Amino acid sequence: MSNTSYSFLDTVAVLVHPLLPIPITLSGEGMGSASISMTTERTSHHIAADGSIMVNKMAGNNGQITIEVQQTSAAHKALLAFYNLLIISPSNVWAQAALMLRNVTDGTSHLATGVSPQKIPDKKYEKEGGMIAWVLMAADIQSITI
């Protein structure tokens, strides 16, 4: 029996955009989690009156990336600055970001293009600091195994 291992510490996300002077790199410090969720259902079934099934294959690789960060982290501040930059910029640059999410331990990567923030994240003011969830919408997400 072989052993495998996984560590979130081996995960890095890099966000690039033409308006950013340098990429935003998110890894470890302040990060809580990152998840990919595809939006388009790729299969549907139509059932005829006689019970026969027609299977439909649909195109679409759009989805969202949710990145949870500590509310006081440099990662949150960088994403907030990115959001604020996009808000005051022309509409034609809104979705020109790309994001690569990679875990070197399990050899998986996701490349998202056409990336833009869904909205400014919700924020709670409580007795203890918490996590902020940034949802980034992507026009195309490709899953890559290295």
Cα separation of 121 and 65, whole Å? 13
Q: Are 7 and 61 in contact (CB under 8 A)?
A: no
For residue 96, the surrounding DSSP H or E stretch is none
Measured in residues, the chain has a length of: 146
Q: Structure tokens of 128? A: 């203890």
Cα separation of 8 and 28, whole Å? 7
Asked if residue 69 belongs to a domain, the reply is yes
Asked if residue 41 belongs to a domain, the reply is yes
How many independent structural domains does the chain possess?
1
Domain boundaries, position 122:
8-145
Sequential pLDDT tens for the chain (146 residues): 777 766 777 889 999 999 999 999 998 778 888 999 999 999 999 999 999 999 999 999 999 999 999 999 999 999 999 999 999 999 999 999 999 999 888 888 999 999 999 999 998 888 888 999 999 999 999 998 76
pLDDT of residue 84: 96
Alpha carbon 128 to its chain centroid, in Å, reads 26
Which CATH number goes with the domain that contains 29? 2.30.110
Cα separation of 86 and 97, whole Å? 10
pLDDT of residue 146: 64
Which of 98, 36, 42 is CA-nearest to residue 63?
36
Assign residue 9 a region (left: φ > 0; alpha: ψ between -120 and 50; beta: otherwise).
alpha
Asked if residue 80 belongs to a domain, the reply is yes
Cα separation of 94 and 101, whole Å? 20
